[in-house]
Amino acid sequence: MRFEDSKYCKELEYEKLEFPFGNFYLCNHFFISELNEGVHFDWEKVNLVMLNILDFYGNDIKLGYISNRTNSYSMEPSSWQKVDKKYGVIVASAIIYYNEYTYKNAAIEKMFSQRSIKRCINLDEAIYWMNNLKEFN
């Protein structure tokens, strides 16, 4: 389910960032991505998003990241390692998967990450997990 079609669109305060390759929803202590079908999410796009996110939140923030994989796209797992090294603001991630293929990709990404990544079946699970992380309580 897309964020804008969920109950959270009405319950949470957020700002929406729109890019040609997808949308990002900036909430209190986490952000949600929904990338467009067929996009290749490379370092150039990741870096552009991060610059906009830091412009919104500031440089001294700790954030969670929810990847709502409503569409099929490709990405470079090493891009998030670059984000960790360059910015150091993401403390945990949740990947919402809607099929077996996305679940397997999330498992591969989990192997590349030094931060906690949770695989979730829906927005409810991902947002609940983010809201209960010790880093934000």
More confident residue, 104 or 82: 82
- Digit-coded pLDDT (tens) for 5-53: 999 999 999 999 999 999 999 999 999 999 999 999 999 999 999 999 9
What's the pLDDT score for residue 76? 81
What's the pLDDT score for residue 95? 93
CA-angle at 38, arms to 34 and 64, nearest 5°: 25
What's the pLDDT score for residue 135? 83
What's the pLDDT score for residue 100? 85
What's the pLDDT score for residue 45? 96
Q: Among 50, 76, 72, which Cα is nearest to 63's?
A: 50
Q: What does the pLDDT average to over 54-78?
A: 91
In eight-state DSSP terms, residue 9 is H
The rounded distance, in Å, linking the Cα atoms of 90 and 57 is 12
Question: 109 pLDDT exceeds 90?
Answer: no
In this structure, which topology does domain 3-136 adopt according to CATH?
Answer: Transcription Regulator spoIIAA (3.30.750)
